[in-house]
């Protein structure tokens, strides 16, 4: 009887960034990076936490409500440019969280319509997968907003 090796437990932020870079794309869906990390033997929950940490740290940035992310920005060279980048990041983070929340809400409603008494009681795999993706996108966007709020409260942002 063949045994399956136990998954690695804790990918680091650098593992997430490396997985992103290995894909060779400018924009990548969060789920693709998650799958990449799982294929390297990392536990799914730990990989999702590491992705959130990479987003929180600014090493990766979510750019839309569907979970597309890109590499973090290069440091600004002057205070005005930095302030503009921070404001733009704040607006984008709030918008991404709102869009992800709407997507998640629609996915929840879609699954609920398939449950009894409205549906046959068996949500489709597609609907459940969409809900999982929407939930991950919202959690990721929410973590980004939480990071920004923490930076504002700590005085790192003005």
Q: How far is CA 110 from CA 20, 92, 105, 130, 134, in A?
A: 31, 27, 9, 9, 12
The highest-level CATH class for domain 13-71 is mainly alpha
Q: Is the pLDDT reported for residue 9 higher than 80?
A: no
Domain extents in the chain:
13-71, 79-154
User: pLDDT by residue (tens digit) across 66-125?
Assistant: 778 888 864 445 667 777 888 888 999 999 999 999 999 999 999 999 999 999 999 999
Peptide bond into 117 cis (omega under 30): yes
pLDDT at residue number 55 = 85
Q: How far apart are CA 153 and CA 109, in angstroms?
A: 35
% the chain with pLDDT above 70? 90
Q: Is the pLDDT reported for residue 3 higher than 60?
A: no
Q: Check: pTM over 0.85? Answer yes or no.
A: no
């Amino acid at each position: 009887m063949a045994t399956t090796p136990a998954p690695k437990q804790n990918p680091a932020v650098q593992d997430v960034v490396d997985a992103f870079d290995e894909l060779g794309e400018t924009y990548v869906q969060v789920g693709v990076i998650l799958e990449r990390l799982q294929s390297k033997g990392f536990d799914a929950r730990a990989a999702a936490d590491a992705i959130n940490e990479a987003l929180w740290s600014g090493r990766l940035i979510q750019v839309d409500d569907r979970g597309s992310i890109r590499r973090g920005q290069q440091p600004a060279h002057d205070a005005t440019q930095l302030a503009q980048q921070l404001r733009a990041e704040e607006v984008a983070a709030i918008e991404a969280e709102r869009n992800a929340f709407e997507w998640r809400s629609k996915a929840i409603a879609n699954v609920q319509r398939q449950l009894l008494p409205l549906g046959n009681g068996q949500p489709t795999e597609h609907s459940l997968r969409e809900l999982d993706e929407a939930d991950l996108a919202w959690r990721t966007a929410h973590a980004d907003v939480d990071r920004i709020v923490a930076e504002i409260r700590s005085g790192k942002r003005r």
